[in-house]
């Protein structure tokens, strides 16, 4: 007898719960708590447009209450006042950008420096792209790519609103970037890969689970492998590649990094130098029947808490 829609959704939830418990090395009751945890929203002050202290003063006038993150001083939690911040002149003028705090981690790992050339492989809508520019005080040359014309238009509008300079926009299939960019190489590359987005799933939402499946994860893994190989080829000797996702699935995280390490054995995995304590689980060196390269243990697997969604960050360096 065929399962009803509710039964299918219930089975999906149970599967995600079981997989998450294994990935985080916790029991299922703790995994359920983490999947259901209520997260405050966050805002990043765009330091290209205003100072952090000035923004905090203006936010307080809107009724905002929150705190600065020790590990990202331009990042603020929004405990009270999200709607007021979203509807404010600060947001519309590009002085602040609302995003989950976990989204700052890849840019902190990338560590943009003045005069570098940087490729953002899957850039739209531009939260991380603008963070890259701000981190280097607009003194980097950014190539921002996306494969969707509407998304690229939104990216361009966001960058103009936020005062990002020295940026080139490309509308390419990222699996063909090496050919389309005609041999150009970059000092640093951010690959915030398309993923199953498990970190953003609301556990009790039927709509969020409608398209989630292990089959989808496996399809995305194949795309991610192609993307990371393209990114590696576009990296200068001595350059840095940051790979990130907002998902829990090891197939999309450790397995993808393991794939590039096996393909390019001289790649160096660096532990991201993010100073403050983060809610982390140990990166997986085994999933099912597959064993991963021990260097995968230097990556970051972020467990959700009240400010961060589940996330994954790997920092790779190409030998000089």
Active site residue 195: no
Q: Across the strands, what pairs with 190?
A: 120, 242
User: b/e per residue, 241-255, with b = 16+ CB within 10 A?
Assistant: bbbbbbbbbbbbbbb
Helix axes 214-233, 254-263, angle to 10 degrees: 40
CB atoms within 10 A of CB 101: 25
Dihedral-angle region of residue 270 (phi above 0 means left; psi in -120 to 50 means alpha; beta otherwise): beta
Tell me how crowded residue 179 is: count the other CB atoms within 10 A of its CB.
11
Q: Largest Cα–Cα distance in the chain? A: 63
Active-site residue identified among 72, 122, 195, 246? 246
Residue 259 neighbours by CB under 8 Å, 6+ apart: 225, 228
- Degrees to nearest 5, angle at CA 110 with 104 and 116: 125
Backbone phi and psi for residue 71, each to the nearest 5 degrees, phi listed first: -90, -5
Is the alpha carbon torsion for 112, 117, 119, 120 positive or negative?
positive
Question: What are the catalytic residues?
Answer: 246
């Amino acid at each position: 007898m065929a399962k009803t829609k509710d039964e299918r959704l219930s089975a999906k939830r149970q599967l995600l719960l079981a997989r998450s418990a294994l990935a985080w090395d916790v029991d299922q009751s703790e995994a359920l708590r983490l999947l259901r945890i209520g997260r405050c929203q966050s805002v990043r002050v765009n330091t290209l447009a205003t100072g952090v202290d000035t923004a905090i003063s203006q936010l307080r006038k809107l009724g905002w209450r929150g705190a600065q993150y020790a590990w990202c001083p331009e990042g603020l939690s929004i405990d009270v006042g999200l709607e007021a911040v979203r509807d404010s002149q600060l947001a519309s003028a590009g002085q602040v950008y609302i995003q989950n705090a976990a989204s700052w981690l890849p840019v902190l790992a990338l560590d943009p420096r003045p005069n570098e050339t940087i490729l953002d492989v899957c850039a739209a809508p531009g939260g991380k792209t603008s963070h890259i520019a701000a981190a280097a005080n607009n003194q980097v040359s950014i190539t921002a790519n996306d494969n969707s014309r509407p998304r690229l238009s939104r990216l361009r509008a966001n960058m103009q609103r936020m005062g990002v300079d020295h940026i080139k926009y490309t509308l390419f299939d990222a699996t063909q970037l090496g050919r389309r960019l005609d041999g150009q190489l970059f000092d640093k590359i951010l690959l915030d890969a398309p993923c199953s987005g498990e970190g953003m799933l609301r556990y009790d939402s039927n709509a969020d689970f409608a398209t989630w499946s292990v089959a989808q994860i496996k399809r995305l893994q194949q795309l991610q492998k192609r993307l990371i190989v393209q990114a590696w080829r576009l990296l200068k000797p001595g350059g840095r590649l940051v790979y990130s996702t907002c998902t829990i699935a090891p197939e999309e995280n450790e397995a993808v990094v393991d794939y590039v390490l096996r393909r390019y054995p001289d790649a160096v995995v660096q532990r991201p130098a993010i100073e403050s304590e983060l809610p982390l689980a140990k990166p997986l060196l085994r999933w099912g029947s597959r064993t991963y390269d021990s260097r995968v243990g230097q990556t970051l697997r972020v467990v959700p808490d009240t400010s961060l969604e589940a996330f994954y960050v790997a920092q790779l360096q190409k030998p000089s």
